[in-house]
Every structure is written in C-alpha cells, then in structure tokens.
Amino acid sequence: MKAVILAGGFGKRLRPLTDQMPKPMIEVLNSPIIEWQIKWLASNSIKEFVICVGYMKENIINHIGSGSRLGVRVGYAVEEEPLGTGGALKNAEGLLSGQKEFFMVNGDILTNLDPKMLRDGGGVHSLALVPLRSPYGVVEVDKDAKVIGFVEKPRIKDRWINAGVYHFTSDIFSYLPDNGNIEVTALPALAKEGKLGATRYGEVFWRSIDSHKDIEEAAKEMQAANIT
C-alpha cells in the first residue's frame, strides 16, 4: 500500500526558517520532518510513497530523491500553483492508479501512531484522532478552592482533534476539489453521508510543527519517548 505525504505548503508561521526551505524540511533532532515521516511509515510496512510538492520543491526532491537511501520508493506530484490539501491529493491521482486504498499524512506532523489501525476504524474512509492538548498549564484545585497542583499543558482526553493521518479508498477522488482544502470540502461531505470513520489514539506521541516553539518541544518529547 502507498502513502501520500502532503508537502507543498508555504509554512508562513515558521518564517524565517521557511524563507530558506519548505516546512517538511525543517529539522527536528537533526533530521527533516519528512524523513522522520518516511522512516515511521516504513517501520509500519509502507514502502511506496507519493510526495505532493510545490513550494521550494527542489529541496525535498534533492534530499529524498528516489527514496532508495531510506529503503523505499518515492514518486512526486508537483503543484505548479497552490492547490490546498484536497487539490494536492487530486493532483496525485495518476500516481495512485490501481490503488484501492492508501494512507495520507500532512507534511508537518510527527507521530509514532500505528496507521494500520485506521483500516479498522469503522468507515470506508477514516482519520486518526488524538487528544486535544491544552495550550496552557492547568491549575488543579480541591472542593475548597485550594490549589493542589499544576499540570503543564495536559491532554484533554474527552476532546479529540484531527491528527492529520488518513486512510482512504480510491472513492475519495470523486469528493476532491481541483483547488481547496480537504478539511472543508471532502471530509464534511463524507461525514454527512456517514462514510467517514475515526480511530482514537489516546497514548501515542503526536506533535504538529506549527511554530518555532513546537520544534524545540517536539525534540524534547521525542527524546523522552525514545523515538530515534
């Protein structure tokens, strides 16, 4: 089975780093995000990849190449103009010909979740969910309003967010826009028709790299989780 990595965005919130390189090439613990992603998926028996590239595409193509250095095979779907997450996947349809099912991953996340569990998520199409992480530290108080402790940015385990990891069948292409984001086009349409399932991952490492602070925090968390 193939995996698609969406790696064509601008990463504006990570400037000035992304003035010099595309977001998936930002290094965490001395390796680019996209290389971490390929190694993670390869460790889950996924050996064929389609990388959707656009902004500063040469950086990614020159670094990853054919994928042979990482023990995988890689093809590239090139965006001549920004297409959004939905349009980018639709642009890759030709490279997924003959694939009845495939995985898709946003190019700015780091995780160790098991993608194969998504195939048992209860839907023809499914997405991974992880607990919402509070952006703030939480103060714990007792019934008398006395402070009994502090928890730094805890996971809020009764609220779930899209982890940016998906399992789709080839039917997804009939829902995709030529230009637009899958989160506001195809996914709501699938949900409305009852064709979208989800798998909750409560105790996995997951981090989205959206800011400079995320890079440092992700490195510390990966070391703590012994992800190498």
Specify whether 153 is catalytic.
yes
Residue of 2, 47, 153, 192 with catalytic role: 153
User: Mind giving me the DSSP string for the chain?
Assistant: -EEEEEE----GGGTTHHHHS-GGG-EETTEEHHHHHHHHHHTTT--EEEEEE-TTHHHHHHHHTTSGGGTSEEEEEE-SS--HHHHHHHHTGGGGTT-SEEEEEETTEEE---GGGGGGSSSSEEEEEEEEEPSS-EEEE-TTS-EEEEESS-EEEEEEEEEEEEEEEGGGGGG--SSS-TTTTHHHHHHHTT-EEEEE-SSS-EEE--SHHHHHHHHHHHHHTT--
Active site residues: 153
